[in-house]
Structure 1
Amino acid sequence: MTQDAEVDAIVRARIRGLRIAKGWSLDELAGRCYLSPSTLSRIETGHRRIGLDQLTAIARALGASLDQLVETAGDAVVIKPHHHPERGMTTWVLSGDDARNGLTVARIRVARPASRRPEDQRVHPGRDWFTVLSGTVELLLGEREVLVHEGEAASFSTMTPHAFGARGGPAEVIAVFDPDGERNHVDA
């Protein structure tokens, strides 16, 4: 199968899959994208080529972007850890390189306490969020120390000087960073 045929098959399967996931019949989707049910059926089954104008209308009706319909599956199924021994952290970036909403989701294993040195506390525009999967995280917000235990979450303005680390042994978190947070915490 050529790459074009493979992409074509993926797009058709995604259209049908999204339609079924929404619980829509061919008639319902056809009415939303201003195509006839028979045209839509032939598109889904591969008996008709998909025009760009049709694909755009179908994507809009399904609440998807063209990119989402035509993107090919990447090879990265297994997410490799990034070790940062100098910071006592291991990071797995879960959202991939193409985070569509500008947010980065990362799993972080923290092995050492938060640095109390002022120069190690970061400041950047935005907000950071994390939830603790295991252990206890000490969050330093300027002079304030907040302990966040397993099963708890934290959200804070990143305009406050901040740092985080493990308390009483390693801790693991799932964190959500905006682009500034990613640059300061994941890419640092």
Structure 2
Amino acid sequence: MDRLVGQRIRAMRVARGWTLDALSSRCHISPSNLSRIETGDRRIALDQLVPIAKALGTTLDALIHSDDDEDVIIRPHATAAGAVTIWLLSNGRTGNGVTVAKMRITPERPTGPEDMVVHPGRDWFTVLSGTARLRLGDRVLLVHEGDAAEFSTMTPHVIGAHDGPVEILTIIDHEGERSHLPGARDATLVS
């Protein structure tokens, strides 16, 4: 891990066009210690990482995050809630505050006016298979396979299935996650 962090520090320093002396003057760690940190010949202490990260204009997370497959590969598990099954496709650590999910909705899902929700933000989805029935205020729109929909979530809305199950890929913000995916992160998993 020390070698990987050292490589990141060196890459960031070089990308800025800085010498070891230039970084040293910004983080108050000697050039020789920085050199040993960059090559992995010296263990890095937290009290050294904080000033180095600050000098490089980055975060500790950016310097020390793991490069193992678990940071890249998401192995979604299905969570079922009535007529909706959800697979979370983002790991919850995205910096942009959105959640990506695949949803399978069966025609049993209620889509009446009393089932609609409202929340700040925007929702976006694309239909992977089947046809989605989007109730948006007083309108009912059919969104076919391959088509997408984007709308203000301040308009009352609910997504259902039309003439059989529908699978959608959706990108929603934090408020949308709370409204559309309640408990999906910690619900009982279904395979």
C-alpha separation in 1, matches of 2:41 and 2:16: 18
- 1:56 maps to what in 2? 54
Counterpart selection for 1:78 from 63, 72, 75:
75
C-alpha distance in 2, partners of 1:162/1:32? 56
Moved more, 68-77 or 107-116: 68-77
Q: What is aligned with 1:3?
A: none
1:159 CA drift (Å): 1.0
In the alignment, which residue of structure 2 is the partner of 1:28?
15
Q: Does 1:133 align with 2:131?
A: no
**8 A Cα contact 1:113 1:164, kept in partner:** no
**Equivalent residues, number:** 169
Q: Determine the structure 2 residue equivalent to 1:164.
A: 159
Q: For 1:91 and 1:83, locate their aligned partners in 2 and report how far apart those are by CA, in whole Å.
A: 6
**CA distance change for structure 1 residues 148 and 113 in 2, over 3 Å: closer, same or farther?**
farther
CA shift at 1:113, angstroms? Answer: 6.0
The one-letter amino acid paired with 1:148 is V
Distance 1:90 1:114, change over 3 A: closer
TM-score normalised by structure 2 residue count = 0.72
Q: Secondary structure at the match of 1:168?
A: coil
**How far, CA to CA, are the matches of 1:113 and 1:167 in structure 2?**
10
The TM-score normalised by the length of structure 1 is: 0.73
Structure 1 residue runs of 5 or longer lacking an equivalent are 1-5
Matches of 2:108 and 2:159 in 1, distance apart? Answer: 7
d(CA) in 2 for partners of 1:38, 1:173: 55
Specify the alignment match of 2:28 in structure 1.
none
**1:69 lines up with 2:63 in the alignment:** yes
Matched ranges for 1:1-188 at <5 A: 6=1, 8-12=2-6, 14-15=8-9, 19=11, 27-31=14-18, 34-35=22-23, 42-50=36-44, 51=48, 52-58=50-56, 60=57, 65-72=59-66, 77-84=74-81, 86=82, 88-112=83-107, 115-187=110-182
Q: Percent same amino acid at aligned positions?
A: 47
Task: Quote the residue 2:186 is aligned against.
Answer: none
- 2:106–2:160 Cα contact (<8 Å) kept: yes
**Runs (5+) with no aligned partner, structure 2:** 25-30, 184-191
CA positional deviation for 1:158: 0.8
